């Protein structure tokens, strides 16, 4: 069994558990396992209350494994204070319903760490699409974050040294919006970690069961 931490494309493969990203206003009941959240790119100010209501309703479903993707992005025009307000509200919902959080973070990692500590968040928080250096990786890991790798593992050879040093119990793999398959991501991860495909699958299965409290 393969585990895809974050994807926008539901493939319905029987040998892969996919955590499919959903938005409050574009929800499909037919997707077996999903996360749901307000992405900072898509904050609509006069709809925040309604979106949060839908998210809270879905968080009470067993098929909803996480909240997200949500987070912070300094490279967009949405005011940062508004992004932070919406993000904090979603983190409080995650804590209330004890669901992990899939995080989109661009140029805002110090603010992310500060908010986690300020709110005393205890649920697992996973940075999806990690692409940064080893120093930042270590800082995030020491603050209890998990890191998920996908596109940049395939595109950026310099990420190999960072990925090699991530503890086995703190990472996931994903496709996000990739055209490549989760099998291709697993293949390069297996090579970088010097693990057999079976060993890598077992590592990620254990991480998935621990974080999402699900067994298959």
Dihedral angle of Cα 56, 57, 62, 65, to the nearest 10 degrees: -30
CATH value of 2-212 in 3.20.20.140, 1.20.1250.20, 3.40.720.10, 3.40.50.300 = 3.20.20.140
CB 74 within 8 A of CB 55: no
Q: Which pTM was predicted?
A: 0.97
Digitized pLDDT (tens) for each residue of the chain, 216 residues in all: 999 999 999 998 889 999 999 999 999 999 999 999 999 999 999 999 999 999 999 999 999 999 999 999 999 999 999 999 999 999 999 999 999 999 999 999 999 999 999 999 999 999 999 999 999 999 999 999 999 999 999 999 999 999 999 999 999 999 999 999 999 999 999 999 999 999 999 999 999 999 999 876
Please tell me the distance from the alpha carbon of residue 83 to that of residue 62, in angstroms, as a whole number: 28
Domain boundaries, the chain: 2-212
Token look-up 């009941």 returns: 29
Q: What is the CA radius of gyration of the chain?
A: 16
């Amino acid at each position: 069994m393969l585990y895809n931490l974050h994807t926008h494309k539901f493939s319905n493969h029987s040998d892969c558990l996919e955590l499919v990203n959903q938005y409050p206003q574009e929800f499909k009941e037919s997707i077996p396992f999903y996360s749901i959240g307000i992405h900072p790119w898509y904050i609509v100010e006069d709809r925040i209350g309604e979106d949060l209501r839908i998210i809270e309703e879905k968080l009470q479903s067993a098929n909803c494994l996480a909240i997200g993707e949500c987070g912070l992005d300094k490279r967009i025009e949405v005011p940062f204070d508004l992004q932070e307000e919406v993000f904090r509200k979603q983190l409080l919902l995650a804590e209330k319903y004890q669901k992990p959080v899939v995080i989109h973070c661009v140029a805002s990692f110090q603010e992310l760490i500060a908010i986690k500590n300020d709110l005393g968040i205890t649920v697992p928080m996973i940075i999806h699409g990690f692409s940064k250096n080893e120093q930042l990786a270590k800082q995030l890991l020491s603050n209890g974050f998990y890191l998920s790798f996908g596109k940049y593992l395939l595109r950026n050879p310099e990420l190999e040294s960072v990925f090699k040093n991530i503890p086995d119990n703190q990472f996931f793999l994903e496709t996000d919006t990739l055209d490549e398959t989760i099998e291709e991501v697993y293949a390069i991860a297996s090579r970088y970690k010097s693990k057999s495909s079976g060993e890598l699958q077992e590592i990620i299965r254990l991480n998935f069961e621990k974080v999402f409290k699900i067994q298959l």
